[in-house]
């Protein structure tokens, strides 16, 4: 959780902006650190692509769940999920965790210097992000073609939520994840000619007002994608249209500064991560705040039960088939998250760290600046509690680093 939050913050923000809404329902939202909460998974998933949680840091003390997970009722799980979060800040950590060595730890630090080769690789990666497929518009759509199209869905003459999209890539054939008859309707259509068609949503689609309902889509194919990928050149026209620069030379100079700053930040966080792993490895859990473990477990389980329902299977089968996990694995994952919180707060107590609001705000400002967003936007996206913990983690790691034995590569 904290261990991986800071380095991946920007990536998570980018991913969150990529979710689209169309005839397929939106997927679940990931909170920082890989945790998925039931509150964030109100929609039924529309894709079989899942991100599996990973346990960060050292091992987690096991010993099995404190309850018979298989016998839990839905009411019990709901009660667990809705329980108040454990107050780590107010609790006496000495009854929960015993820290190992936290001062004088050894760590290796990579060189933060950016090489020319690394910079060119970063430029190549940037250009690859703007790659596009070559298009044709001089023929009708054949079965199996992928098209770039706009569409809008109407029920009883009114546009329905999630039914409108622009410049979407759609493969004109069945079995591509859209409702039956949707993608097939694009076969034979001519680019830039508007057409309409009716389809019927499945009875178990997952949206009450659309279950089993016939709707009308109005669509326009703009082009047929050939599959040939075109990577743009880093020239004046490219940087002008995408970044507002007059010429490519100025963009290269500024972008190099950005990449240098990014590498410095990642190198520093790699040091924090290695130190954090050592602190976690050396920590021993004496007892668990079971209500917090149960709460996190229940939130995850509710989210996965929603997935299981969409795929018309039971929770246990879904976990085994799609997640390659057991229910006990999920409970141990919840414990791993709680262990990180326990160790983080115990570490702050042991080092006498009681950051002021001013110190916390300084770290939060740094995170916001790094990600190119405002602090308020960052809080709105991640939630104040998550950011508070991430800030405390960084302050902890700065203190641990201050006494560490660092070998520079």
pLDDT tens digits for range 180-212: 999 999 999 999 999 999 999 999 888 889 999
Q: Residue 213 pLDDT > 90, yes or no? A: yes
Reading the block at residue 395, the tokens are: 């302050």
How confident is the model at residue 180, as a pLDDT?
92
In 199-356, which residue ranges form alpha helices assigned H by DSSP?
Answer: 236-243, 248-282, 290-310, 315-318, 327-350
C-alpha 171/C-alpha 174 separation (Å) is: 8
Arithmetic mean of pLDDT, 225-247:
96
Convert the pLDDT of each residue in 124-170 to its tens digit. Answer: 999 999 999 999 999 999 999 999 999 999 999 999 999 999 999 99
- Considering the chain, what percentage of its residues have pLDDT values greater than 90? 70
How confident is the model at residue 65, as a pLDDT?
61
What band does 63 get if pLDDT is binned at 50, 70 and 90? low
Residue 212 CB contacts under 8 Å (≥ 6 apart), including other chains: 200, 201, 202, 203, 205
Correct CATH for 133-230 of 3.30.70.2740, 3.30.1370.60, 3.10.50.40, 1.10.20.60:
3.10.50.40
Question: Of 185, 176, 182, 193, whose CA–CA distance to 137 is shortest?
Answer: 193
Q: Quick check: 392 and 362 in contact, CB under 8 A?
A: no
As annotated, the residues of the chain forming the CATH 3.10.50.40 domain(s) are 133-230
Q: Residue 5 pLDDT > 60, yes or no? A: no
pTM: 0.70
How confident is the model at residue 70, as a pLDDT?
87
Element (H, E) at 214: strand 214-230
Arithmetic mean of pLDDT, 317-323:
93
Q: Residue 104 pLDDT > 90, yes or no? A: yes
Query: 214-230 and 132-136 as β-strands: parallel, antiparallel, unpaired?
Result: antiparallel
Q: Which residue has the higher pLDDT, 237 or 26?
A: 237
C-alpha 340/C-alpha 336 separation (Å) is: 6
Question: Of 144, 158, 154, 141, whose CA–CA distance to 193 is shortest?
Answer: 141
Q: Residue 48 pLDDT > 90, yes or no? A: no
Arithmetic mean of pLDDT, 280-284:
97
Q: Quick check: 7 and 273 in contact, CB under 8 A?
A: yes
Q: Quick check: 91 and 338 in contact, CB under 8 A?
A: no
How confident is the model at residue 39, as a pLDDT?
36
Convert the pLDDT of each residue in 283-308 to its tens digit. Answer: 999 999 999 999 999 999 999 999 99
Convert the pLDDT of each residue in 259-276 to its tens digit. Answer: 999 999 999 999 999 999
């Amino acid at each position: 959780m904290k261990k991986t939050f800071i380095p991946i913050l920007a990536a998570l923000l980018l991913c969150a902006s990529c979710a689209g809404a169309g005839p397929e329902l939106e997927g679940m939202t990931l909170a920082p650190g890989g945790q998925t909460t039931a509150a964030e998974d109100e929609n039924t998933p529309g894709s079989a692509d899942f991100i599996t949680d990973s346990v960060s840091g050292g091992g987690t003390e096991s010993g099995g769940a404190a309850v018979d997970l298989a016998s839990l009722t839905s009411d019990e799980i709901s009660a667990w999920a809705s329980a108040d979060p454990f107050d780590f800040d107010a609790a006496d950590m000495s009854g929960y965790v015993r820290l190992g060595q936290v001062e004088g730890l050894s760590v290796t630090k990579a060189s933060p210097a950016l090489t020319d080769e690394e910079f060119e690789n970063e430029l190549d990666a940037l250009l690859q992000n703007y790659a596009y497929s070559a298009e044709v518009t001089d023929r009708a759509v054949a079965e199996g073609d992928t098209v770039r199209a706009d569409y809008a869905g109407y029920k009883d003459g009114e546009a329905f939520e999630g039914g409108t999209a622009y410049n979407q890539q759609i493969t004109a054939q069945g079995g591509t994840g859209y409702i039956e008859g949707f993608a097939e309707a694009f076969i034979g259509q001519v680019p830039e000619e508007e057409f309409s068609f009716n389809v019927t949503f499945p009875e178990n689609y997952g949206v009450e007002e659309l279950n089993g309902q016939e709707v009308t889509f109005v669509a326009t194919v703009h082009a047929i994608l050939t599959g040939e990928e075109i990577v743009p050149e880093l020239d004046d026209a490219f940087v002008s249209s995408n970044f507002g620069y007059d010429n490519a030379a100025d963009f290269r100079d500024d972008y190099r500064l950005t990449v240098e700053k990014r590498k410095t930040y990642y190198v520093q966080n790699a040091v924090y991560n290695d130190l954090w792993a050592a602190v976690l490895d050396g920590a021993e859990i004496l007892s668990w705040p079971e209500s917090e473990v149960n709460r996190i477990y229940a939130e995850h389980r509710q989210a996965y039960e929603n997935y299981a329902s969409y795929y018309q299977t039971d929770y246990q089968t879904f976990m085994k088939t799609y997640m390659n996990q057991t229910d006990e694995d999920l409970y141990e994952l919840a414990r791993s998250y709680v262990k990180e919180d326990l160790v983080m707060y115990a570490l702050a107590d042991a080092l006498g760290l009681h950051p002021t609001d001013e110190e916390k705000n300084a770290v939060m400002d740094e995170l916001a600046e790094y990600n190119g967003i405002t602090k308020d936007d960052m809080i709105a996206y991640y939630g104040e509690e998550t950011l508070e913990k991430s800030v405390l983690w960084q302050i902890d790691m700065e203190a641990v680093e201050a006494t560490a034995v660092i070998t520079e590569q």
